[in-house]
Structure 1
Amino acid sequence: MRAIPSFVVFLPSLVLLASCVGPGSGPARPVPAPTPAPARPGPAPVPPAQPAPVTTEWQYRPATLGNWSYRAEAAGAVAVFGTSAADPRLTLRCDRASRRVSLARAGAGGASAIIVRTSYGATSWPAAVSSGAVPQTVAFRAASDTVLDQLAYSRGKFAVEVAGQEALIVPAWAEVSRVIEDCRG
């Protein structure tokens, strides 16, 4: 029989012993840093872009500062929108005798129409400039006109636009409906 060398007997023990040793406490081997790529000439830096002017649709703009007020007069009901009764920016008036509702925008715009925008869509109202103490752009509708219902039932607000003036974004409050209903009644 042949004798087995002694190192062969201890070899399995050495393998087991080597697996029990934890990581070395010596310094970690440094990882070489990546070499930077050679610089390529590129385009000149672009200055930051200026923001484009915001063109928000009327229904997303805030309402114009002011409130509606209502009053009954002998000729018909009147609703006035503005920051004060002395400075109306928009007037909705019923003329009971002719069964017409007028919409008057303060200021003499250079337009022959008032554009009214509601949640139902936009409508062009033929208009004229009144020659009173305070210039106004005025449009008329028959009290039975369904476009007036669009004003009353617009979702929260409606817009009144006259060329050459800023748009008025006004709330569709009950005063508007009262004038229309008084004129129809």
Structure 2
Amino acid sequence: MKPIYFPFGGALALSFTIAACVPAPDSTPAPTPTPTPPPVQTAPPPSAPAPAPPSKDWIDEARSPGEWTYRSGGADGSAQYVDSRGAPVFSILCMADDARIALVRHGAGSDTPAMTIRTETSDRMLNTSGVSPDTAGRPAIAAYLGRTDPLLDAMALTRGRFAVEIPGLSTLYLPPWAEVTRVIEDCR
């Protein structure tokens, strides 16, 4: 053997010796199956919020259908709230000779003992009396106030509307338009 191969042979033998000392890698383990996540139960989407309960505050109720009309009669002017057919449902009448203002609910029987007026700042139950039938032949009842009564100012200046309640009849929610104020001021 030639001396040149000896170092090569020794290097080769040394490589095999070192290779024998290094542990063989473990066989590649079989991939573990990725567990499938359990199905996620999603909550149903929230339903639309429940509608708000009807307001318990009378001032938030819808205005009664109709509109105010004003009639000048000298010192005895009047304002009438008329429905869509033009029939009066409520009137405010100046009675200058008596220094009073009449609040008249049309269509109410004369046996109704009281009328309640509600405003933003004041509520008052008023005694009533029957009056002659209105122009449509319907019965009507009236409550009378002195022309300087603070309830009249509360009706004219209330926020958005005032209410007229009479047992057995639907409540009227009336706007305090200029006609109301005009009758009150003309009567003073």
TM superposition shift of 1:169: 0.2
1:164 is paired with a residue of what secondary structure?
coil
**What residue number does 2:99 align with?**
99
When the two structures are aligned, how many residues end up with a matched partner? 153
Q: Answer with 1 or 2: which has the greater Rg.
A: 2
Q: How many angstroms apart in 2 are the aligned matches of 1:86 and 1:96?
A: 26
- Name the % identity: 34
**What residue number does 2:6 align with?**
none
**2:35 aligned to which of 30, 33, 44:** 30
Equivalences for 1:24-63 in 2 at 5 Å?
28-31=33-36, 33=38, 54=54, 56-63=56-63
Q: How many angstroms apart in 1 are the aligned matches of 2:108 and 2:79?
A: 20
What TM-score results when the alignment is normalised by the length of structure 2? 0.69
**Letter in structure 1 aligned against 2:139:** P
Gaps of 5+ in 2: 1-16, 40-50
2:114 counterpart of 1:113: yes
1:97 is paired with a residue of what secondary structure?
helix
- Structure having the higher strand fraction is 1
Residue-by-residue CA offset, 1:46-83 (whole Å, 9 max, x unaligned):
xxxxx9x8463211110000000111014511000012
Q: How many angstroms apart in 1 are the aligned matches of 2:32 and 2:68?
A: 81
What TM-score results when the alignment is normalised by the length of structure 1? 0.71
1:144 is paired with a residue of what secondary structure?
coil
2:83 is paired with a residue of what secondary structure?
strand
2:182 counterpart of 1:178: yes
Query: Where do 4+ consecutive residues of structure 1 move more than 6 Å?
Result: none
Query: What RMSD in Å do the two structures reach over aligned CA positions?
Result: 3.2
**What residue number does 1:125 align with?**
126
